[in-house]
Amino acid sequence: MSSFLSGAGVDVLPVLLLMVGMWLTSLWRRDASIMDIAWGPGFVLIGVTHALVSGLHARGSMVLALVTLWGLRLAWHIGARHQGREDARYRRWRERHGSRWALRSLFTVFLFQGVLMWLLARPLVAALRNPQGYPGWPDLAGLVIAVAGLLLETIADAQMKAHRASGQGGLCVTGAWRYSRHPNYFGEAVFWWGIFLLAWAAGGAWTVFAPVLMTVLLRYVSGVPLLEAGLRDRPGWSEYARRTPAFIPWRPRP
Protein backbone atom coordinates (compact mmCIF):
# COMPACT_ATOMS: atom_id res chain seq x y z
CA MET A 1 0.00 0.00 0.00
CA SER A 2 2.93 2.35 0.60
CA SER A 3 3.83 2.12 -3.09
CA PHE A 4 0.29 3.19 -3.95
CA LEU A 5 0.24 6.06 -1.47
CA SER A 6 3.50 7.44 -2.83
CA GLY A 7 1.88 7.88 -6.27
CA ALA A 8 -1.78 8.28 -5.33
CA GLY A 9 -2.10 11.63 -7.09
CA VAL A 10 -0.32 10.71 -10.32
CA ASP A 11 -3.55 9.98 -12.18
CA VAL A 12 -5.81 12.67 -10.68
CA LEU A 13 -4.91 15.37 -13.20
CA PRO A 14 -5.23 13.14 -16.30
CA VAL A 15 -8.67 11.95 -15.14
CA LEU A 16 -9.76 15.52 -14.37
CA LEU A 17 -8.60 16.75 -17.79
CA LEU A 18 -10.38 13.86 -19.50
CA MET A 19 -13.64 14.57 -17.68
CA VAL A 20 -13.55 18.33 -18.35
CA GLY A 21 -12.66 17.66 -21.99
CA MET A 22 -15.58 15.25 -22.37
CA TRP A 23 -17.90 17.75 -20.69
CA LEU A 24 -16.90 20.56 -23.06
CA THR A 25 -17.34 18.20 -26.01
CA SER A 26 -20.79 17.22 -24.72
CA LEU A 27 -21.83 20.88 -24.61
CA TRP A 28 -20.69 21.39 -28.18
CA ARG A 29 -22.44 18.23 -29.43
CA ARG A 30 -25.40 18.40 -27.04
CA ASP A 31 -24.71 14.77 -26.19
CA ALA A 32 -23.73 13.78 -22.65
CA SER A 33 -23.70 10.08 -23.51
CA ILE A 34 -20.22 10.42 -25.01
CA MET A 35 -19.18 9.86 -21.38
CA ASP A 36 -20.17 6.21 -21.84
CA ILE A 37 -17.75 5.90 -24.77
CA ALA A 38 -14.94 7.49 -22.74
CA TRP A 39 -15.48 5.22 -19.71
CA GLY A 40 -13.28 2.33 -20.87
CA PRO A 41 -10.46 4.45 -22.34
CA GLY A 42 -10.38 6.39 -19.05
CA PHE A 43 -9.07 3.28 -17.28
CA VAL A 44 -6.52 2.82 -20.06
CA LEU A 45 -5.39 6.42 -19.49
CA ILE A 46 -4.90 5.74 -15.77
CA GLY A 47 -2.91 2.61 -16.51
CA VAL A 48 -0.70 4.25 -19.13
CA THR A 49 -0.04 7.21 -16.80
CA HIS A 50 1.26 4.93 -14.05
CA ALA A 51 3.23 2.83 -16.52
CA LEU A 52 5.00 5.95 -17.79
CA VAL A 53 5.79 7.10 -14.25
CA SER A 54 6.76 3.76 -12.67
CA GLY A 55 7.88 1.68 -15.63
CA LEU A 56 6.56 -1.75 -16.56
CA HIS A 57 7.29 -5.22 -15.22
CA ALA A 58 5.81 -8.61 -16.16
CA ARG A 59 2.66 -8.35 -14.08
CA GLY A 60 2.16 -4.69 -14.95
CA SER A 61 2.45 -5.41 -18.67
CA MET A 62 -0.12 -8.19 -18.40
CA VAL A 63 -2.58 -6.07 -16.41
CA LEU A 64 -2.19 -3.07 -18.70
CA ALA A 65 -2.73 -5.27 -21.78
CA LEU A 66 -5.90 -6.77 -20.27
CA VAL A 67 -7.37 -3.40 -19.28
CA THR A 68 -6.47 -1.89 -22.66
CA LEU A 69 -8.28 -4.72 -24.47
CA TRP A 70 -11.27 -4.33 -22.17
CA GLY A 71 -11.38 -0.51 -22.41
CA LEU A 72 -10.96 -0.21 -26.18
CA ARG A 73 -13.43 -3.02 -26.90
CA LEU A 74 -16.02 -1.39 -24.66
CA ALA A 75 -15.49 2.01 -26.31
CA TRP A 76 -15.83 0.48 -29.78
CA HIS A 77 -18.98 -1.43 -28.81
CA ILE A 78 -20.71 1.58 -27.21
CA GLY A 79 -19.55 3.91 -29.97
CA ALA A 80 -20.93 1.63 -32.70
CA ARG A 81 -24.27 1.45 -30.88
CA HIS A 82 -24.33 5.19 -30.17
CA GLN A 83 -24.31 6.47 -33.77
CA GLY A 84 -24.52 10.12 -32.72
CA ARG A 85 -27.76 9.74 -30.73
CA GLU A 86 -27.82 10.78 -27.09
CA ASP A 87 -28.82 7.99 -24.74
CA ALA A 88 -32.41 8.20 -23.48
CA ARG A 89 -31.27 8.55 -19.86
CA TYR A 90 -29.32 11.71 -20.61
CA ARG A 91 -32.10 13.10 -22.82
CA ARG A 92 -34.56 12.79 -19.94
CA TRP A 93 -32.17 14.56 -17.58
CA ARG A 94 -31.53 17.29 -20.17
CA GLU A 95 -35.26 17.90 -20.57
CA ARG A 96 -35.87 17.82 -16.81
CA HIS A 97 -33.17 20.36 -15.90
CA GLY A 98 -33.40 22.63 -18.95
CA SER A 99 -30.90 25.51 -18.93
CA ARG A 100 -29.33 24.22 -15.70
CA TRP A 101 -28.26 20.98 -17.37
CA ALA A 102 -25.01 22.36 -18.84
CA LEU A 103 -23.42 23.07 -15.46
CA ARG A 104 -25.25 20.31 -13.63
CA SER A 105 -23.96 17.66 -16.03
CA LEU A 106 -20.36 18.65 -15.22
CA PHE A 107 -20.83 17.46 -11.64
CA THR A 108 -23.52 14.77 -11.87
CA VAL A 109 -22.25 13.02 -15.01
CA PHE A 110 -18.62 13.80 -15.77
CA LEU A 111 -16.87 14.62 -12.48
CA PHE A 112 -18.94 12.05 -10.59
CA GLN A 113 -17.98 9.31 -13.04
CA GLY A 114 -14.40 10.55 -12.95
CA VAL A 115 -14.30 9.95 -9.19
CA LEU A 116 -15.85 6.50 -9.67
CA MET A 117 -13.33 5.68 -12.38
CA TRP A 118 -10.44 6.74 -10.14
CA LEU A 119 -11.70 4.57 -7.27
CA LEU A 120 -12.47 1.51 -9.39
CA ALA A 121 -9.04 1.64 -11.02
CA ARG A 122 -7.17 1.11 -7.73
CA PRO A 123 -6.54 -2.63 -8.36
CA LEU A 124 -5.07 -1.72 -11.74
CA VAL A 125 -2.79 0.85 -10.09
CA ALA A 126 -1.74 -1.54 -7.30
CA ALA A 127 -0.79 -4.23 -9.82
CA LEU A 128 1.15 -1.74 -11.95
CA ARG A 129 3.14 -0.15 -9.14
CA ASN A 130 4.38 -3.24 -7.32
CA PRO A 131 6.25 -6.10 -9.06
CA GLN A 132 6.67 -8.23 -5.91
CA GLY A 133 5.98 -11.96 -5.79
CA TYR A 134 5.67 -12.69 -9.48
CA PRO A 135 4.64 -15.23 -10.70
CA GLY A 136 2.25 -17.04 -8.39
CA TRP A 137 -1.13 -18.75 -8.34
CA PRO A 138 -3.07 -15.48 -7.78
CA ASP A 139 -1.54 -14.16 -11.01
CA LEU A 140 -2.58 -17.24 -12.97
CA ALA A 141 -6.05 -17.25 -11.39
CA GLY A 142 -6.45 -13.53 -12.03
CA LEU A 143 -5.40 -13.91 -15.66
CA VAL A 144 -7.81 -16.80 -16.28
CA ILE A 145 -10.74 -15.07 -14.55
CA ALA A 146 -10.14 -11.73 -16.27
CA VAL A 147 -9.91 -13.37 -19.71
CA ALA A 148 -13.05 -15.43 -18.99
CA GLY A 149 -14.96 -12.30 -17.99
CA LEU A 150 -13.79 -10.39 -21.06
CA LEU A 151 -14.75 -13.29 -23.35
CA LEU A 152 -18.21 -13.60 -21.79
CA GLU A 153 -18.82 -9.87 -22.09
CA THR A 154 -17.64 -9.84 -25.71
CA ILE A 155 -19.66 -12.92 -26.73
CA ALA A 156 -22.82 -11.65 -25.04
CA ASP A 157 -22.55 -8.26 -26.76
CA ALA A 158 -21.93 -9.97 -30.12
CA GLN A 159 -24.99 -12.20 -29.64
CA MET A 160 -27.16 -9.21 -28.82
CA LYS A 161 -25.84 -7.30 -31.83
CA ALA A 162 -26.57 -10.28 -34.11
CA HIS A 163 -30.09 -10.56 -32.68
CA ARG A 164 -30.82 -6.90 -33.38
CA ALA A 165 -29.33 -7.13 -36.88
CA SER A 166 -31.51 -10.16 -37.68
CA GLY A 167 -34.61 -7.98 -37.60
CA GLN A 168 -36.52 -10.53 -35.52
CA GLY A 169 -37.34 -7.97 -32.84
CA GLY A 170 -38.37 -8.92 -29.34
CA LEU A 171 -36.04 -10.08 -26.60
CA CYS A 172 -32.76 -11.90 -27.12
CA VAL A 173 -33.25 -15.15 -25.18
CA THR A 174 -30.64 -17.42 -26.78
CA GLY A 175 -26.95 -18.04 -26.19
CA ALA A 176 -25.60 -16.46 -23.02
CA TRP A 177 -28.87 -14.52 -22.68
CA ARG A 178 -30.71 -17.79 -22.02
CA TYR A 179 -28.85 -18.19 -18.73
CA SER A 180 -28.65 -14.56 -17.57
CA ARG A 181 -30.66 -11.45 -18.35
CA HIS A 182 -27.41 -9.45 -18.27
CA PRO A 183 -24.46 -11.74 -19.12
CA ASN A 184 -22.44 -8.78 -20.40
CA TYR A 185 -22.65 -7.02 -17.03
CA PHE A 186 -21.77 -10.25 -15.23
CA GLY A 187 -18.75 -10.69 -17.54
CA GLU A 188 -17.60 -7.16 -16.73
CA ALA A 189 -17.82 -7.84 -12.98
CA VAL A 190 -15.88 -11.09 -13.42
CA PHE A 191 -13.20 -9.24 -15.41
CA TRP A 192 -12.58 -6.79 -12.56
CA TRP A 193 -12.44 -9.59 -9.98
CA GLY A 194 -9.66 -11.06 -12.11
CA ILE A 195 -7.81 -7.74 -12.11
CA PHE A 196 -8.21 -7.63 -8.33
CA LEU A 197 -6.50 -11.03 -7.97
CA LEU A 198 -3.55 -9.65 -9.93
CA ALA A 199 -3.50 -6.68 -7.57
CA TRP A 200 -3.67 -9.06 -4.59
CA ALA A 201 -0.58 -10.84 -5.88
CA ALA A 202 1.14 -7.44 -5.85
CA GLY A 203 0.22 -6.77 -2.22
CA GLY A 204 -2.97 -4.91 -3.08
CA ALA A 205 -5.51 -7.05 -1.19
CA TRP A 206 -6.88 -3.84 0.33
CA THR A 207 -8.25 -2.85 -3.11
CA VAL A 208 -11.02 -5.47 -2.77
CA PHE A 209 -13.46 -2.59 -2.29
CA ALA A 210 -13.15 -1.82 -6.03
CA PRO A 211 -14.53 -5.08 -7.51
CA VAL A 212 -17.17 -5.16 -4.75
CA LEU A 213 -18.25 -1.62 -5.70
CA MET A 214 -18.19 -2.49 -9.42
CA THR A 215 -20.39 -5.55 -8.83
CA VAL A 216 -22.87 -3.61 -6.68
CA LEU A 217 -23.11 -0.81 -9.25
CA LEU A 218 -23.71 -3.21 -12.12
CA ARG A 219 -26.21 -5.39 -10.30
CA TYR A 220 -28.13 -2.94 -8.12
CA VAL A 221 -27.52 0.68 -9.24
CA SER A 222 -26.48 1.78 -12.73
CA GLY A 223 -26.59 -1.50 -14.65
CA VAL A 224 -29.42 -3.99 -14.27
CA PRO A 225 -32.08 -1.71 -12.69
CA LEU A 226 -31.70 1.15 -15.18
CA LEU A 227 -31.77 -1.13 -18.21
CA GLU A 228 -34.67 -3.25 -17.00
CA ALA A 229 -36.75 -0.15 -16.24
CA GLY A 230 -37.12 0.27 -20.00
CA LEU A 231 -37.79 -3.41 -20.72
CA ARG A 232 -40.75 -4.19 -18.46
CA ASP A 233 -43.37 -3.21 -21.04
CA ARG A 234 -41.95 -5.42 -23.79
CA PRO A 235 -43.92 -8.51 -24.84
CA GLY A 236 -42.62 -11.62 -23.11
CA TRP A 237 -40.56 -9.73 -20.55
CA SER A 238 -42.36 -10.95 -17.43
CA GLU A 239 -41.99 -14.60 -18.48
CA TYR A 240 -38.36 -14.13 -19.46
CA ALA A 241 -37.61 -12.38 -16.15
CA ARG A 242 -39.36 -15.15 -14.23
CA ARG A 243 -37.35 -17.91 -15.91
CA THR A 244 -33.93 -16.27 -16.26
CA PRO A 245 -31.55 -15.17 -13.48
CA ALA A 246 -30.88 -11.44 -13.50
CA PHE A 247 -27.10 -11.53 -13.18
CA ILE A 248 -25.25 -14.76 -12.37
CA PRO A 249 -25.80 -17.27 -15.21
CA TRP A 250 -27.71 -20.39 -14.23
CA ARG A 251 -30.15 -22.87 -15.70
CA PRO A 252 -33.48 -21.29 -16.68
CA ARG A 253 -36.35 -22.02 -14.33
CA PRO A 254 -39.00 -24.37 -15.74
Provide the residue ranges of all domains of the chain, joining segments of one domain with +: 2-243
pLDDT in tens, 241-254: 999 999 999 999 88
One-character DSSP codes across 3-33: HHHHTTTTTHHHHHHHHHHHHHHHHHHT-TT
**The pLDDT of residue 241:** 93
Mean per-residue pLDDT for 117-122?
96
Indicate the Cα dihedral angle 146, 212, 116, 46, nearest 10°. -30
Please state, rounded to an integer, the average pLDDT across all residues of the chain: 91
Q: Which of 181, 61, 70, 56 minimizes the C-alpha distance to 120? A: 70
Q: Which of 184, 192, 183, 187 minimizes the C-alpha distance to 142? A: 192
Percentage of residues of the chain with pLDDT beyond 70: 95
**The pLDDT of residue 197:** 95
In Å, the largest CA–CA distance within the chain is 55
**The pLDDT of residue 133:** 62
> Would the pLDDT of 6 be above 50?
no
169 or 184, higher pLDDT = 184
Mean per-residue pLDDT for 110-136?
88
One-character DSSP codes across 137-155: HHHHHHHHHHHHHHHHHHH
> Would the pLDDT of 93 be above 90?
no
Single-letter residue type at 23: W
pLDDT in tens, 190-202: 999 999 999 999 8
Burial (CB < 10 A; 0-12, 13-18, 19+), residue 222, is middle
> Would the pLDDT of 3 be above 70?
no
User: Is-contact 111 21, C-beta < 8 A?
Assistant: no
Single-letter residue type at 172: C
Name the pLDDT band for 170 (thresholds 50, 70, 90): confident
Burial (CB < 10 A; 0-12, 13-18, 19+), residue 99, is exposed
130 or 158, higher pLDDT = 158
Mean per-residue pLDDT for 48-60?
89
**The pLDDT of residue 200:** 93
Mean per-residue pLDDT for 167-178?
89
